[in-house]
Structure 1
Amino acid sequence: MPTKKNSPPTRTPTDFPAHHWDHILSSIEEGLLVIDQTQVIRFLNAAAEQLLGLSQAHLFAHPYREAFALNPWIVDIIERTITFGARATASEGMLQTRLSRSTPIRLSCSPIITGEGTALGLVLVFYDLAHQKEFQKEEQEATHLAQLGVIAAGLAHEIKNPLAGIRGATQLLQRKVLHDPSAVEYTTVMLREIDRLNGLLQQLLQLSPTPHLDRRPQNVHKILAEVLLLERETTPKGAKIIQEF
């Protein structure tokens, strides 16, 4: 004759030890604060205590208007939730504390309603946005620096190209004034300063990201003519430049 197995006992949520709920709520990273139907504070977890800078013993049974006297925007959210019975009202703002500390937060406020529709109060959830805002700030600064790097690289290229032409022209000038020691001294100083600027521009280019190439049609004949203008004067005797374009 088959034996009948006993079914395991059915457990209901009320079987869960009450003191465990305190541990669960205290371990949540977001700040939790409960306001009852008489509009006084009945509970806040450790995260809420840290954000508000006040302990549960200090705020327990105090009216929420008194607790959030420095934060009228939070009082406004609570009152709108009480008035309209919104399921969830979320907003971002700066949480001011009595310690003159200001913390960016996102606040969610929801009514606590039984299965029969009876309102028991409100639960407020505080999300600390300090780390998120700091990350966004660092990301914006990094983007800004990258943009400055691109601009700096573009300027460096624009300055470096004509500077090479100025250096070549200065070398030609120096060859023509070899008979004048003072003029040679001036051109030597010019070349030294041009080389110093070139070095600074090279350092700037190394710190900058690789520039985006702006490809467009160019007149190669014009570019080569400018190069030949400088090279003709520096061409050794006996050498000949043949131009075929």
Structure 2
Amino acid sequence: MKNPMDIVDAQLYVRILENVDRAVVAIDSEGRIALFNPAAQLYTGLSERQSLGRHFEELFSGQAALLYLVRTAVQDGRSISDDENILLHRPSAAPLPVSASVSPIYTEDGDQEGVVLIIRDLSRVCELEEAVRRSDRLSTLGTLAAGLAHEIKNPLGGIKGAAQLLAMELPEGSHLTEYTGVMVKEVERVNGIIEELMDLARPRAPELTEVNLAKVLNDIVLFQKEAHRGKDVQFSLQLDPSIPPIQGDENLLTRLFLNLIKNAGEAIDKKGTVQIITKVASEYHLNQPGERPAPLIVVEIRDSGRGMREAELDKIFTPFYTTKSRGSGLGLATCQKIVSEHRGFLKVESTPGKGTAFSVCLPFLR
């Protein structure tokens, strides 16, 4: 008769394997898959039926790093891991950055009867690391830009003043006043760019108040519908009504979302959609010393526009880089700064010809 405690323990182990957020793959002494938990199915894109009983060499065919780890654990009877150099290839999705460890499984008699492969999804970690790198790069560029801006503003003021004095000296109706007008206008345009640059480098703590994201986004979309009336652009709001007001600087957040939603509309040439979605991110939390982990609120802005190539994505947060015919190239750099000032992060995904999605992740601080 089976011990009831053994049954309870077995059920507990099954529940743990079914709910753990890491892929667990057990491989028997003949190299065949004996266990393939739900996380493993999610990561690989393969069902349990497709996997059980198959040889690991076949299941992970062409994935040299994983095969090396499993072979080493099987042959040497020792644990081995790789924390950062593995891309898990999947049949119907992009490769997934993972870490993997393999450990031998022994019987009570000390005989090896297989190995267990544990895979951890590193995509979220990679996104956070990239957000930190962008923030650091922006800080360095902003400091450099502020120094240049200071040196440029003084000569610009002299040029503008000289152009205005020249215009006053010209006889009334002179065709030369057209040129002095252009000079003043262009000086003011360059001065506006310099002011944006100085904003990037100027440290300023956000003036925190309670911000109703739904109201901010609704107001922005209302005006953007008018701005894009000449094109067939549909704006769709999918706002989670359970999200309460968050702590933030309303002026800065309005500037942030206006820039992103405006860009989304401009990325559509003739016809398309812009989706604005708010939700609570279950996979992220902000941890501060001495404080409870704060959940993150995610605002996604998705467009069905022209999209961007990977080479463009690497540059879009760099000051002065722009894909527009008219633009300073400072908008997204400013967005990055605003998000960083709110202790959040910004990520972007894009597919040429299909569209772009920006995700703003902000901590829900009470």
Same fold, TM-score > 0.5, yes or no: yes
Specify the SS of the correspondent of 2:201.
Answer: coil
2:92 corresponding residue in structure 1: 99
Q: 1:79 corresponds to which letter in structure 2?
A: R
Give the TM-score normalised by the residue count of structure 1: 0.69
Aligned length: 199
CA 114–183 in structure 1, closer or farther in 2 if over 3 Å, else same? same
1:87 corresponding residue in structure 2: 79
C-alpha deviation, 1:95, in angstroms: 0.5
1:242 corresponding residue in structure 2: none
What's the Cα RMSD here? 2.9
C-alpha deviation, 1:47, in angstroms: 0.4
Measured against aligned partners, the alpha-carbon deviations of 1:45-82 in whole angstroms (never above 9, x if no partner) come to: 11011111112222111111111113122111111112
In structure 2, C-alpha distance between the alignment counterparts of 1:65 and 1:42, rounded to whole Å = 14
Please give the residue correspondences for 1:31-70 in structure 2 after superposition, counting only pairs within 5 Å. 31-70=23-62
Alpha-carbon contact 1:70-1:97 (below 8 Å) kept: no
1:132 corresponding residue in structure 2: 125
In structure 2, C-alpha distance between the alignment counterparts of 1:58 and 1:182, rounded to whole Å = 83
1:155 corresponding residue in structure 2: 148
Of residues 140, 146, 158, the one that matches 2:139 is 146
Answer yes or no: is 1:119 the counterpart of 2:112: yes
Q: 1:67 corresponds to which letter in structure 2?
A: L
Measured against aligned partners, the alpha-carbon deviations of 1:201-225 in whole angstroms (never above 9, x if no partner) come to: 334323x2228xxxxxxxxxxxxxx
In structure 2, C-alpha distance between the alignment counterparts of 1:85 and 1:12, rounded to whole Å = 33
In structure 1, C-alpha distance between the alignment counterparts of 2:37 and 2:24, rounded to whole Å = 6
Measured against aligned partners, the alpha-carbon deviations of 1:155-183 in whole angstroms (never above 9, x if no partner) come to: 222211222233445566667x4679749
CA 12–147 in structure 1, closer or farther in 2 if over 3 Å, else same? farther
Alpha-carbon contact 1:90-1:109 (below 8 Å) kept: no
Answer yes or no: is 1:77 the counterpart of 2:69: yes
1:166 corresponding residue in structure 2: 159
CA 120–147 in structure 1, closer or farther in 2 if over 3 Å, else same? same
Q: 2:22 corresponds to which letter in structure 1?
A: E
Alpha-carbon contact 2:77-2:112 (below 8 Å) kept: no
More strand by percentage: 2
CA 110–183 in structure 1, closer or farther in 2 if over 3 Å, else same? same
In structure 2, C-alpha distance between the alignment counterparts of 1:199 and 1:26, rounded to whole Å = 57
More helix by percentage: 1
2:191 corresponding residue in structure 1: 198
In structure 1, C-alpha distance between the alignment counterparts of 2:176 and 2:198, rounded to whole Å = 31
Structure 2 portions without partners, runs of 5+: 204-366
Structure 1 or 2, whichever has the larger Rg, is 1
C-alpha deviation, 1:93, in angstroms: 0.5
In structure 1, C-alpha distance between the alignment counterparts of 2:182 and 2:146, rounded to whole Å = 27
Please give the residue correspondences for 1:169-188 in structure 2 after superposition, counting only pairs within 5 Å. 169-170=162-163, 177=169, 182=174, 185=177, 187=180
Specify the SS of the correspondent of 1:136.
Answer: helix
Alpha-carbon contact 1:104-1:129 (below 8 Å) kept: yes
In structure 1, C-alpha distance between the alignment counterparts of 2:112 and 2:164, rounded to whole Å = 90
1:18 corresponding residue in structure 2: 10
1:234 corresponding residue in structure 2: none
Give the TM-score normalised by the residue count of structure 2: 0.48
